[in-house]
Amino acid sequence: MNEEIRIDVIKKATHQMEILVYSGDDLLLKHTIELNPEIFDEEEAERVMSLWAQLIQMQTHAIGMWRNIAEKLYDYLFSNDDENEDKQ
């Protein structure tokens, strides 16, 4: 059963955002980014937070791809053993 992955990016303030990753209705990851306004102006904070959100999205996508590959490999390796045992 493959659940749909959803990523919500919520901007809480000019220097704070929250990233929530769901599988179906289950919360998998809650990530908060908070930048120091003394170091980052509003434009820089927006760019950094946007890039960070994209990084989390890419990681989530990559994990899903690896999971799919692992499931297919597992099915390939072990379903053939079951079929071979049935034939003997």
pLDDT digits (tens, 9 = 90+) for 21-54: 888 889 988 989 999 999 999 999 999 999 998 9
- Strand-pairing partners, residue 31, are 19
* Domains identified in the chain, total number: 1
Please answer whether residues 53 and 61 qualify as being in contact, where contact means their C-beta atoms are separated by less than 8 angstroms. no
pLDDT, position 83: 56
pLDDT, position 51: 92
Coil vs helix vs strand at 40:
coil
Residue 85 has what DSSP assignment? H
Give the span between the Cα atoms of 82 and 55, in whole angstroms: 40
Q: Which amino acid is at 50?
A: S
Rounded to two decimals, the pTM is 0.64
| Residue range(s) defining the domain that contains residue 46 | 5-87
pLDDT at 62 over 80: yes
Structure tokens at 67: 């999971």
Bigger pLDDT: 71 vs 87: 71
